[in-house]
Amino acid sequence: MRVLAVDYGDQRTGIAVSDAMGFLVGRAWTVNEWNPERMADIIAEEAQSCGAERIVLGYPKNMDGTVGPRAEKCAEFKKLIESKCSIPVFLWDERRTTVDAHRILSENGRHGKKRKQTVDAVAASLILEGYLQTLS
């Protein structure tokens, strides 16, 4: 089962897609789009074109597990994606994925502008990896 993961952001959104069997993270990329409506269209189109059976949307809870403004925004974005396609959308607790993505990129010599352009794709990969682990 192919899964598409999303790390939704105000300016950039990371997207990662699993392999066809749903075991590994395949490719990941970043989309520069600030308009939620257009971003939801892009996600729906990508999910349909790659044959995704599920969409996993990062749900950034606060460290204490409470739901803050950013998580509420993602919950609303989930509804927007669902209005664009019939593929089920799941919220995934993504605490620390962006922090971990920055650490991974830093450890691999990616700094400054290079890191800024790829951190959301790495975060989407981490969301996808975490979700896929629960399926095995």
Per-residue confidence of the chain (136 residues) as pLDDT tens digits? 999 999 999 999 999 999 999 999 999 999 999 999 999 999 999 999 999 999 999 999 988 989 999 999 999 999 999 999 999 999 999 877 777 777 777 787 766 666 667 889 989 999 999 999 998 7
Cα–Cα distance measured from residue 113 to residue 135, given in angstroms and rounded to the nearest whole number: 35
pLDDT recorded at residue 100: 75
**H or E segment at 97?**
helix 97-107
Give residue limits of the domains in the chain.
3-135
pLDDT recorded at residue 101: 77
Joined tokens for residue 77? 């974005």
CATH number attached to the domain at 3-135: 3.30.420.140
Nearest Cα neighbor of 123 from 99, 93, 90 is 99
pLDDT recorded at residue 115: 66
pLDDT recorded at residue 27: 94
**H or E segment at 105?**
helix 97-107
Q: What is the pTM of this model?
A: 0.90
pLDDT recorded at residue 96: 73
Q: Which long-range contacts (CB under 8 A, 24 or more apart) does 103-111 make?
A: none
Quote the crossing angle between the two packed helices 69-84 and 36-50, to the nearest 10°. Answer: 50
Nearest Cα neighbor of 98 from 115, 85, 111, 86 is 115
